[in-house]
Chains A and B, each alone.
Chain A
């Protein structure tokens, strides 16, 4: 589903929820997208993988969304992984804001899901 320029697809792989975020994530779509991802993760889930491998653009509001998800999941003792292949603009931004100090960044969805499950 699309919201503005952002696309969001949620899938459940066993006890892991995978959120595929596509398009461009800025202040126009980030707060709402964050809400919807958080709602899609049941308390019973082991964790969440936010797939940003095809996301074309992210700014500080997108980063804020990720930090918000980290906070909500850690309070429920759920794991979070972000998928952002190196060299992509998204990975560059996450690197600058040192996101890896909050949650691990992985290069592909399979590896991330396997880690949590």
Chain B
């Protein structure tokens, strides 16, 4: 049934029809333009022409939207108008020509049957016109006689043919349609995806099996219900309406649309879906059809894949961060593991180079707000002729060079192919540096310094390396700042400590005794220790030896040492016995020192005149006594608790004999303690070294330091105090300053000497008294001249003791009275007394024979 007409679309057909109407109208008007019969009704004709023209215009304008049936109607109307025009012009020959055009048009554009229907209409209309105009016309009769049966027969035969064919055709078509629908339904039902169609109002018109499965609604339940209320979640209904309306209103059939939507199942559950939607038109009615696919699984897989990717990314990130943190931790540990600045810096350089696989690194410290000084060796070899130590003196202004810029910008920087002037040290300049990282060390909002790390090609630093250093920098900066503060404090504490310890060359000189002392700070500079010593001359010519160790380090320990030292001197001067002195010190530490502060103390008083030592040991290491060639002996026995441990501990004074020529060694634990060694081994080692050491106290100290302290320095502070009780000699000579206080010292020496010379107690007392008188005179002779020294010398000649006291003053003859008693005493107590005044001074020689005649011991 398809033919030529369908080659043209409705628009072409409509426009052609419009031309036809226009031509008809023009022809009608043309008739009027020529001279014509009066029979012609002008007015009616003009009206018809106007109607035809109007129709032409209308058809032309609506050509796009004309439907086929409207075309038929228009053509039929045209036929009627033409027939009316014929009627009004009394059926001229001209107008049947127009009928021909009309028929031609019908045959040209319409199917044959339709065209024949139009021809039939034309024939009927023409016949009516003819009958109306001239009923008896032979043409009419002829037409009626021939035409009517012809047309009727034609129509009937045509109709019959149509009916026969139509029945056959409709049956076939119905069957085909049924089959097609069944097929379509089958196809649609068998489709894996839900198929839904909606009419223009959004009401569901089809609903396949897959849709039943997917949504839980049967086709019977779903069809006829608006989709928006059945399967669209409430919050998406408006969107659904908008999309549907937009799709419907699109004039032409649009391409398939795809939407990702969320839909509702019958049970209320939701699922993500993909809808493929298109607009169709069925018999001029717009419909929307679409496939809906449940993409839950796809979304899930997608999500899983994304989760997996995220997880992988997260793991990679975690590994990166972990690497970063462990690297950072290494650096921070390096900074925190040490207390001294030098140790921190050295370790940092080492670790930074390791962590970043860098060739060199250095740290510059801000000296003030203007300059940076290289504070740590870079680890790179300095160029030929450059001193490694000189590397550290280098200093650059803040703001200049790479490090200077990092300091002034207070920002970490990464530089590639740096210029030579950007490299802070000659050693770095000597390398072919490919990239540099500079990180400011910020602590307490100040630039403490700059860490510069350098790398030689092919290793190039990455932003990750920069990030790592930046992370570590803050903590490192703080450690460095603390170390610098600590170092400053350390210096103060050391100065204080030093000021408290009598310099060895300033130790008091006492007749008959030699003392020496050494203080060696620990190599590691781990803080000034609380080790201290003191040598206090006693009024009687003896000496107090102090060796102590205050627990703790730094300023607190140093100031405690200061207080103990002063207190001890005061108590000793008051003449308390050692045990009382130490008890007083314990009270001081117990009541006034901070909690847990304690101190060990060894306080020994050596009375050379009596060859005796008295001491108290408060928790300190036992001193060593070396008597002659005997093995060194540790003076143990009365060790008690350190100071500050108990409120009222009992301290007792212990005494021992100290022969002339013997030595004492006092020390702190730094001398004998070595890591990993037992204390007893250290003590045994000390005893062995002391035994082989020289007698001279100075040399003894040196020897012990040399043999016991590692060459790099001890791990703890070392203090040593040695004293030697000079051996007895038959002849001695001492100088004393001319002051009353010298008298007791002189007596002390004389007692010791006389004791060893074999004098009895009585002889000893009497000779000492006589010498005292002579010495008192010597002091008086010096008078206002000040501290002119006087000399006391002694000599043992067999059993004879001869003592000479000589001064540089003027001899004053004894006056009667008090002063005369001195000479009287000398004479009474000694065998002979010779006074030899001279312009240079006076010498008094005293002699006495010892009864015991024992001689030298």
Contacts and interface: CB of A to CB of B under 8 A. Distances in A.
Given A60-B773, A89-B765, A27 B743 contact: yes
Interface stretch (B86-94, B303-311, B659-667, B820-828): B820-828
Contacts of A4: 539, 740-741, 744
B769 A59 contact: yes
Contacts of B779: 27
B744 A5 contact: yes
A77 interface: no
B741 A63 contact: no
B741 A28 contact: yes
A14 to B, nearest CB: 30
- Chain A contact-residue range equals 20 to 34
A15 B747 CA distance: 38
B contact patch SS: helix
A23 B818 CA distance: 22
B821 A28 contact: no
A61 interface: yes
B769 A93 contact: yes
A60 B821 contact: yes
A97 B824 contact: yes
Nearest to A26: B743
B825 A96 contact: yes
A72 interface: no
B537 to A, nearest CB: 13
Interface string A68-102: 00000000000000000000010011001100000
Contacts of B766: 89, 92
Interface in A1-57: 2, 4-5, 7, 23-24, 26-29, 57
A58 B747 CA distance: 12
A117 interface: no
A15 B304 CA distance: 114
Interface string B770-791: 0011001001000000000000
A67 B818 contact: yes
A58 B741 CA distance: 15
A64 interface: yes
A60 B825 CA distance: 8
Contacts of A92: 762, 765-766, 769
Interface in B762-818: 762, 765-766, 768-769, 772-773, 776, 779, 818
A93 B770 CA distance: 10
B773 A96 contact: no
B829 interface: yes
A58 B743 CA distance: 12
Contact of B828 (A28, A58, A96): A96
B541 to A, nearest CB: 10
Interface in B136-160: none
Given A89-B766, A92-B765, A96-B825, A59 B744 contact: no
A36 to B, nearest CB: 17
Contacts of A59: 769, 772-773, 776, 822, 825
B618 to A, nearest CB: 24
B768 A57 contact: yes
B540 A24 contact: yes
29 contacts: A2-B574, A4-B741, A4-B744, A5-B539, A5-B575, A5-B744, A24-B540, A24-B744, A26-B740, A26-B744, A26-B772, A27-B776, A27-B779, A28-B741, A28-B743, A60-B773, A60-B819, A60-B821, A60-B822, A60-B825, A61-B818, A63-B821, A67-B818, A89-B762, A92-B766, A92-B769, A96-B825, A97-B821, A97-B825
Complex A-B, nearest 6 residue pairs according to Cβ-Cβ distance, in ascending order: A28-B740, A89-B765, A64-B818, A60-B822, A96-B828, A60-B821
Interface of B: 539-540, 574-575, 740-741, 743-744, 747, 762, 765-766, 768-769, 772-773, 776, 779, 818-819, 821-822, 824-825, 828-829
